[in-house]
Amino acid sequence: MNNRTKTRLLLDKLAHKAFLLSALFALLILGILIYRMGTQSIGWLNFEFLKNNLSIFPEKSGIYGAIIGSLRLMAVIAPVTIILGVSTAIYLEEYAHKGKLQSFINMNISNLSGVPSVIFGLLGLTVFGRMLNLGSSILAGGLTMSLLVLPIVVVSSQEAIRAVPNYLRDASYAMGASNWTVIRTVVLPSAVPGILTGTILSLSRAIGETAPLVVLGIPTLILKVPTSVMDDFTTLPIQIYYWTLDTVLTPEYANLAAATSIVLIIMLFLMNSFAIYIRNKFQKRY
């Protein structure tokens, strides 16, 4: 082998190693992050912590209210996004004529998904908070979040509907079924796994979001567990935010924030695994 070839081969080897390191970097960071949060929350993350309400004493503080708040928020977001998202996807895929209106709505949705979440916060503050007078209730937060994650549900539902092969539709039409009957009895049942996966992913995005809720003006300290959709509430990310802000005065808050982060990450991990499970288990291949 001449020298030039040797250098080229060496370079290739080095590049291989370097690129591998880049790819492993993600793994490294994930490891550090989990390890760091884990060690910080040792002694803090226990059953009491999950069961207790907020308190001014860090040792007695818990995130029960925040967990309930996050769950109730999801209970608002899920129906709103499913109804709006799936309907939009059905319109775009099954009814809209290929043309200007369809591509306009599609472009609009892809642009919406790029709008920073904090802007949705401003929209929610103005429209839901002030104009509709919902304040910083669960309903206001849920509707704001629904608009934020709507593009995710629309796009994944569109993909799920598009994946239903045309011969299934044609067969039903040939038997005399109407447009709506075909959608209701043939298209939607086959698209359900894809739609569910998208919905769960959008929910996991929503309960990890902080900025829109902060902009809506979620109060700092809520000792009451929310009971209705009109109540003020707090969520896990909001709790992490306020505890992080106050770590300078009360160092223990860092432990609480870390413990809450672990709970949030576990919740998201479970939701995402469930979504992937549904996708793999129920998705039919045609």
Partner 1 sequence: MNHTADVKNVIKKNIEKNKNKKREKIIPNLFLLAASISILTTVGIVLTLAFDAYKFFAKVPLKEIFSTELAPLAVNPSFGILPLISGTIITSIIAMCVAIPIGLTAAIYLSEYAKESHRKILKPIMELLAGIPTIVYGFFAYSFVTPLLMNLIPSLGAKNALSPGIVMGIMIIPMVTSLSEDAMNSVPNAMREGALALGSTKLEVAIKVVLPAATSGIISSFVLAISRAIGETMIVTIASGSSKNFTLDITQSMQTMTAYIVEFTSGDAGSGTVGYYSLYAVGLILFIFTLLMNLLAQYISRRYREEY
Question: CA-CA distance, 229 to 79, in Å (whole number)?
Answer: 14
CB of 113 to partner 1, least distance (A): 9
| Residue among 9 and 227 whose Cβ is closer to partner 1 | 9
CB of 105 to partner 1, least distance (A): 6
Question: CA-CA distance, 41 to 44, in Å (whole number)?
Answer: 5
Question: CA-CA distance, 63 to 246, in Å (whole number)?
Answer: 16
- Contact stretch for partner 1 (CB under 8 A) within 13-21, 46-54, 55-63, 164-172: 13-21
Which residues have CB under 8 Å from 144's CB, separation 6+?
A: 120, 121, 123, 124, 128, 212, 213, 216
Is 175 one of the binding residues for partner 1 (CB under 8 A)? no
CB atoms within 10 A of CB 283: 15
CB of 89 to partner 1, least distance (A): 9
CB of 83 to partner 1, least distance (A): 7
Residue list 239-268, contact with partner 1 (CB under 8 A)? 240-241, 244-245, 247-248, 254, 257-258, 261, 264-265, 268
Question: CA-CA distance, 129 to 119, in Å (whole number)?
Answer: 14
> In this structure, what DSSP letter does residue 125 have?
I
Residue list 178-217, contact with partner 1 (CB under 8 A)? 178-180, 204, 208-211, 214-217
CB of 174 to partner 1, least distance (A): 17
The owner of tokens 């919905």 is 199
Dihedral (CA of 268, 106, 212, 33) sign = positive
The pattern of x and - marking residues 63 through 102 that bind partner 1 according to CB under 8 A reads --------------------xx--xx-xxx--xx------
Q: What is residue 286's three-state secondary structure?
A: coil
Q: What is residue 234's three-state secondary structure?
A: coil
Residue list 129-168, contact with partner 1 (CB under 8 A)? 130, 147, 150-151, 154
Contact 73, 86 (CB under 8 A): no
Exposed e or buried b for every residue in 167-182, given b needs 16+ CB within 10 A?
eebeebeeeebeeeeb
- Contact stretch for partner 1 (CB under 8 A) within 49-57, 160-168, 236-244, 277-285: 236-244
CB of 104 to partner 1, least distance (A): 8
CB of 93 to partner 1, least distance (A): 10
Among 120, 141, 203, 279, the residue binding partner 1 under the rule CB under 8 A is 120
